[in-house]
Amino acid sequence: MTMAAGKDLKTILTKLQYSDDAKVVQQITAQMKQVQARMAGIKQKLVVMSGKGGVGKSMTTVNLALALARQGAKVGLLDVDLNGPCVPRMMGLHGQSLRMTPEGAQPPVGPLGIKVASMDFFLDDASPVRWKGPMDLSPVWLGLMEMNVIREFLADVVWGELDYLLADLPPGAAADKPPVIAGFIPDLAGAIVVTTPSEVASDVVQKSVTYARDMGIRVLGVVENMSEYRCPSCGAENELFEGNTEAMCEVLDLPLLGRIPFDRKFAKTFDKGQPLLDLEYPTIQKYQEIVGRIQALLDYKKVLAEKL
C-alpha cells in the first residue's frame, strides 16, 4: 500500500517538533548540548574503532593514550562498551567509580595522569546488560535504549581541560554501530581503525570504514594489530596470519600507521591491571611511533584548515 503524496514517512518526520508526550527529540537535543559543553575544553577528540571484535582494539586505545601521556599531554580515555568494558581493568582502575560532584561526574585518574570514564563503573561483575519491557521484542527499541544510555553517560562526565580524548568504541554486531556512537562526540578530529592481518577482519573493517566516511567521519589511518608473534624467550617475531593489510589500505586510500606484534609478556601486564610503562620496551616504542604519525596527520589537517 502506498502513502498519499506528502504523507510519506520522511515528510512526516520533518514536520514533527517535539510532538510526542515524552518529548524524545527535545531530550536528545538537550543531551547533545550538554555533551558539547562537557567536551568544550578538549583540543583533539579521537575514536578508535574496528567494526570487528577480537582485534585488540581496547589494547590499542589504551596504549595510544599512554603514548600521548608520555609526551606530557593531558589525556582522557573513554570506554563506552556496555557489555564488554575492559579499559578500567587494563589501567588498574577496576572497582573504582566516577566521583559525583555538583558539577558532574569526575573520572578517576589512572597511570600517567590519564582520566578514565567507562560504563564498567556502573556495571556488576560478569553481569550482562539486559533491557526490560518492549525492548525484548524489538532490536530497534533495544538499540535506541542503548544509544540513549550512552548519550546520558557522556552528558554527565566532567573532563575539564584535555589535549586529547580517545574513545574506545564497541565493535557492534554490524559495521554501522561504531560510527553511530562516534557521531555522539562533537568536533571529532578523526577515527583510527584497528585490524589484524586476517582476511576475515579486513572484510568487516572495510565496511566499517566505508560507513564511517558516509557519516562524514574522517578516518586517519589503520593500525595493524597482532602482526607477528613476539617470542617471550628470545624476542624473535613470526607471522600469525596470512593477509595483506597494505593492500586493504591501498583500496581504502588510507595510511598504515603501524604494526603491533602479539606480545604475550606485554599483554599479561594489562590483564593484571599493571600496565607496562617502560619507554625502552620494543612494543611501547612502536606505539610511540604510531602516535607520532597520528599527530602529524592532525597537524597537517590544522595547517590545511588555516590556509583555507
Q: What is the pLDDT of residues 99-144, one digit of tens each?
A: 989 999 999 999 999 999 998 887 656 555 555 655 555 555 556 6
CA atoms of 162 and 139, how far apart (whole Å): 36
CA atoms of 23 and 17, how far apart (whole Å): 9
Q: Residue 199 carries which side chain, given as an amino acid letter?
A: E
Helix (H) or strand (E) holding 180: helix 177-182
66 by Cβ neighbours in 10 Å (0-12 / 13-18 / 19+) ranks as buried
- Asked which of 50-54, 182-186, 190-194, 201-205 is least confident by mean pLDDT, the reply is 50-54
- Residue 139: CB atoms within 10 A of its CB come to 10
**For the segment 204-244, what is each residue's pLDDT rounded down to a tens digit?**
888 888 888 888 889 999 999 988 877 777 777 777 776 68
What is the reported pTM? 0.83
**For the segment 50-99, what is each residue's pLDDT rounded down to a tens digit?**
877 788 899 999 999 999 999 999 999 999 877 678 899 999 998 888 89
The percent of residues in the chain predicted with pLDDT above 90, rounded, is 42
Q: Which residue has the cell 518492549?
A: 134
Cell digits for 108? Answer: 578517576
**For the segment 230-287, what is each residue's pLDDT rounded down to a tens digit?**
777 777 777 777 668 888 999 999 999 999 998 888 999 999 999 999 999 999 999 9
**For the segment 16-42, what is each residue's pLDDT rounded down to a tens digit?**
555 555 566 777 788 888 889 999 999
Question: What are the b/e assignments for 87-109, b being 16+ CB within 10 Å?
Answer: bbbbbbbbebebeeeeebbbbbe
CA atoms of 88 and 281, how far apart (whole Å): 22
CA atoms of 223 and 237, how far apart (whole Å): 18
Q: Residue 31 carries which side chain, given as an amino acid letter?
A: Q
Q: Are 225 and 85 in contact (CB under 8 A)?
A: no
The confidence score (pLDDT) of residue 80 equals 84
The confidence score (pLDDT) of residue 85 equals 82
